[in-house]
Amino acid sequence: TMGDRIVVMKDGFIQQVDTPQNLYDLPVNEFVAGFMGSPQMNFIDATLVKEGADYYVTFGAAKIKVPANKANAEIANYVGKEIVFGIRPEDVHDEPEFIEKHPEARATADVEVTELMGAETYLYLNCEGNALTARVEPSSTAKTGDKITIALDMNKMHLFDKETEKTILN
């Protein structure tokens, strides 16, 4: 938190050298994405599909639209392939207003555990068989055992190559 630039290393090899904010917002691979932030980024094995001009991340029954501004030229190479979808806990929302405004980014999830942290609440969810952590407002009404609707801030999403673990979108 005090450095202007940080070197992230894994097994003696430099993964990325950048500002703390860029490491957080623009990780070059899954390792850096998971290393930066607490709780760490959620990773979900998914498939990328294309319908018309739109791209979707699918896992289980969930089908989440990729924003047009995130769909770069490289994304087309991954249609029909398994990818890793990354979303940070603070980008998983259970507020009714957010859910209403983002119908293309909704999924259902079972609340397994809630953890009140004071200024925020962590929801530990099962979303289509995937463990997902959400960092929500302490006023959240979600309780252990509930089935809830969540919406993801897809403008903050990350996609990674399943084999190389390198980012697809940056």
pLDDT of residue 1: 61
User: What torsion, rounded to 10 degrees, do the Cα atoms 148, 59, 134, 24 define?
Assistant: -160
Taking alpha carbons only, the member of 128, 118, 131, 125 closest to residue 144 is: 125
As averages over each run of 10 residues, the pLDDT of the chain (170 residues) reads 88 95 95 94 97 95 94 90 97 97 97 96 96 96 97 96 91
Summarised one tens digit per residue, pLDDT across range 126-140 is 999 999 999 999 999
* Cβ 166 vs Cβ 27: under 8 Å: no
In percent, the amount of the chain with pLDDT more than 90 equals: 93
Tell me the pTM: 0.93
Close Cβ partners of 11 (under 8 Å, ≥ 6 residues apart): none
pLDDT of residue 155: 95
Summarised one tens digit per residue, pLDDT across range 43-73 is 999 999 999 999 999 999 999 999 998 888 8
